[in-house]
Amino acid sequence: MKGVRSPRTREPLHRVSNGSHGELSTGRPGRRGSPLVLFASVEVAPFSQVGGLGDVAGSLPTALAEAGIRVVVVTPWYGAPDTRSTAAEQAGVTITVPGLAGPEQFQVWRGELRSGVPVLFLVNANLFGSSYVYVAERDRQRFAAFSRAVVELMRVLPVDILHANDWHTCPAVIWHRELRYRSRALFHQRSVLTIHNLAHQGITDVTYARALGLEVDELLDEERARYPDTINVLARGILAADAVTTVSPSYAEEIKTPAFGEGLDRLLRQRGDRLLGILNGIDTAWYNPAADPALPSRYTVENLEGKALCKRTLQRELDLASSSELPLVGVISRLDRQKGIDLVVEAIDELIGLGVQVALLGTGDTTLERQIAEASRRYPQLVASVLRFDAELARRIYAASDIFLMPSRFEPCGIGQFIALRYGAVPVVHRTGGLADTVQEWHAPSGSGNGFVFEEHTPEALLAAVRRAVDVFQKPVEWQRLVRNAMECDVSWSRSALEYARVYDFILGLATSAGAPSSAAER
Ligand code: GLC
């Protein structure tokens, strides 16, 4: 396996022409012999984003390109066509796939990530005409059609690897597996599936699955055991993919156990030799306190004065008591059970008793929203809650916070702790999944560690960890060292991009040993 990649080149687009399909760009060339990866995701920031999947799909492809891999992102276009024109141009390609009520057509539009990595938008107003990424009951139908179109795209692009993400694009992995033995165009291609969250599996009624074109001969034990007469799109994707990755080494181990496996642990153990945890990263050029335009003042690890000013400004913005002495605890999260926000609600009085302020940003569960709003009414100077999604305010909170709290019950990777480290907000986390892999407890005698970690998922354990953080906050020299450790952590994608490159090499290595089918078998 090769560890060294050539730097990203800035050469003109390499074009592939196909008579019946028009012209499609496959991006700039990468390292010599580099595979072409088609990265399929139903969320891609900044075009569409609901959660962490959008962050990853919007930033990992850039890191792959920087590692010398040719990569093209493919995603649905959501919403009205008029806004599309600013972000993309028509590629002159139409893909037709079977749909529930007759054929569905996708127009291919071409755009770019901020870094210049090509993005293909598949446009179909019938299925993706609203600006919502997820619309509950219709999602299986919408994403099956999108996935089918991705497979058709793979016939005309010289793709080596399909990189699918979560259950939404699993139908592409499943179809590709089925069709590749009958198609010369698809035969040498391989697939990788990345699981961002095992809790969502795309469980689909068998009759409906058949109507969507997914062939179902026999049900898996996992399917029968959970809901009779349903197929599990994620489970089938896990079986069909040449490699399965998830977003942290710890989560890769956890999901092989009944406690975290969401009913698929047996299957994941079975695929253990092809299952790998690769830690997420963040785009460190975008999340950069030294250059972030959302901040009232910028700072670096060498000079943290700007961070103090960010704190004062945020205290004013959120009507919190103005004080540099009170440690400010930031919480930025979807408000739900996975994220363990119920612990914060339960512990709020004791938290305030430790002499901290809390700034909380997020939306979700209405009961949690109500409880949080109620806490900020009770402690107007000490608890601020903003119950909406606001990416800029989020960055101001990361910058202003001394401590960042992430009490997730389970966490495949988590992104908040990376941004917090980068912005010098010391993370306090529950030891699970990616949080366990990225935050190490502060150890004063050796000056090592970048945060505080609690083991039991209880309000008491959370409070004890925050208390440890507050104690160190009172000792400025120690605290400065801790903040420095946090800010100096490598939270970029660079190491993980190389790990993905090795996975691609690995599965393509297998590909070269098999013989191609004859053109007679071509479909
Ligand atoms: C999901 C997971 C989160 C992960 C993200 C990106 O949102 O819950 O832990 O960081 O996907 O992989």
Nearest CA to ligand 1 atom 7: 52
Judge if the beta carbon of residue 501 lies within 6 A of ligand 1: no
Cα 365 to Cα 298: distance, rounded to the nearest angstrom: 34
H helical segments located in 26-104: 52-66, 81-87
Cα 9 to Cα 12: distance, rounded to the nearest angstrom: 9
H, E, C per residue of 189-238: CEEEEEECCCCCCCEEEHHHHHHCCCCCCCCCHHHHHHCCCEEEHHHHHH
Cα-to-centroid distance, 42 and ligand 1 (Å): 14
Pairing mode of beta strands 104-112, 88-97: antiparallel
For residue 341, the surrounding DSSP H or E stretch is: helix 341-346
Cα 220 to Cα 231: distance, rounded to the nearest angstrom: 8
- Which segments of the chain belong to CATH 3.40.50.2000? 21-281+495-512, 305-487
Judge if the beta carbon of residue 414 lies within 6 A of ligand 1: yes
The answer to whether domain 21-281+495-512 has CATH 3.40.50.2000 is yes
Cα-to-centroid distance, 141 and ligand 1 (Å): 24
CB neighbour burial string for 130-167, b if at least 16 within 10 angstroms, e if fewer: eeebeeeeebbbbbbbbbbbbbbbbbbbbbbbbbbbbb
Beta bridge pairs of residue 328: 357
Cα 420 to Cα 29: distance, rounded to the nearest angstrom: 35
Beta bridge pairs of residue 75: 121
User: At CA 395, angle to CA 389 and CA 398, rounded to 5?
Assistant: 110
Judge if the beta carbon of residue 52 lies within 6 A of ligand 1: yes
Q: What is the best residue among 43, 44, 166, 415 to mutate for testing ligand 1's pocket, by most ligand atoms within 8 Å of CB?
A: 415
Beta bridge pairs of residue 428: 405, 452
Question: Could you tell me the two tokens for 433?
Answer: 């999944």
DSSP symbol at 335? B
Backbone angles phi, psi at 447, to 5 degrees: 65, 30
Q: Are 72 and 93 in contact (CB under 8 A)?
A: no
Cα 44 to Cα 51: distance, rounded to the nearest angstrom: 10
DSSP symbol at 98? -
The dihedral through the CA atoms of 416, 417, 422, 425 has a sign that is positive
Q: Are 66 and 190 in contact (CB under 8 A)?
A: no
Cα-to-centroid distance, 279 and ligand 1 (Å): 10
Cα-to-centroid distance, 164 and ligand 1 (Å): 15
Nearest to 37 by CA among 178, 237, 233, 194: 194
**How much is the pLDDT for 518?**
41
CB under 8 Å to 429, separation ≥6 — which residues?
405, 406, 407, 408, 414, 417, 435, 436, 439, 451, 452, 453, 454
Judge if the beta carbon of residue 411 lies within 6 A of ligand 1: yes
Judge if the beta carbon of residue 196 lies within 6 A of ligand 1: yes
Q: Are 510 and 242 in contact (CB under 8 A)?
A: yes
Q: At what angle do helices 170-180 and 139-156 cross, to 10 degrees?
A: 40
Report the SS3 class of residue 50. Answer: coil
Question: Could you tell me the two tokens for 188?
Answer: 């040498």
Give the CATH architecture of domain 305-487.
Answer: 3-Layer(aba) Sandwich (3.40)
Q: Are 91 and 108 in contact (CB under 8 A)?
A: yes
**Residue type, position 183, single letter:** S
Report the SS3 class of residue 40. Answer: strand
**How much is the pLDDT for 32?**
53
The number of C-alpha atoms within 13 Å of 431 and in the hemisphere containing its C-beta is 9
Nearest CA to ligand 1 atom 6: 52
Q: What does each of the 523 residues of the chain score in pLDDT, given as a tens digit? A: 222 222 222 222 122 222 233 345 455 555 557 899 999 999 999 999 889 999 999 999 999 999 999 999 999 999 976 655 556 778 888 999 999 889 999 999 999 999 999 999 999 999 999 999 999 889 999 999 999 999 999 999 999 999 999 999 999 999 999 999 999 999 999 999 999 999 999 999 999 999 999 888 899 999 998 888 999 999 999 999 999 999 999 999 999 999 999 999 999 999 999 999 999 999 999 999 999 999 999 999 999 999 999 999 999 999 999 999 999 999 999 998 899 999 999 999 999 999 999 999 999 999 999 999 999 999 999 999 999 989 999 999 999 999 999 999 999 999 999 999 999 999 999 999 999 999 999 999 999 999 999 999 999 999 999 999 999 999 999 999 999 999 999 999 999 999 999 999 999 984 444 444 443 333 3
For residue 394, the surrounding DSSP H or E stretch is: helix 391-400
**How much is the pLDDT for 230?**
95
Cis check: omega of the bond before 46, within 30 degrees of 0: yes
Q: What is the best residue among 43, 49, 53 to mutate for testing ligand 1's pocket, by most ligand atoms within 8 Å of CB?
A: 53
Cα 156 to Cα 48: distance, rounded to the nearest angstrom: 26
Nearest to 419 by CA among 449, 390, 397: 397
The closest-lying atom of ligand 1 relative to the alpha carbon of residue 251 is: 9
C-alpha 381, offset from chain centre: 34
Cα-to-centroid distance, 474 and ligand 1 (Å): 33
For residue 336, the surrounding DSSP H or E stretch is: none
For residue 91, the surrounding DSSP H or E stretch is: strand 88-97
Cα 109 to Cα 121: distance, rounded to the nearest angstrom: 5
Question: Could you tell me the two tokens for 49?
Answer: 């984003």
Nearest CA to ligand 1 atom 10: 414
Radius of gyration of the chain from its Cα atoms, rounded to whole angstroms: 24
Cα-to-centroid distance, 142 and ligand 1 (Å): 22
Report the SS3 class of residue 110. Answer: strand
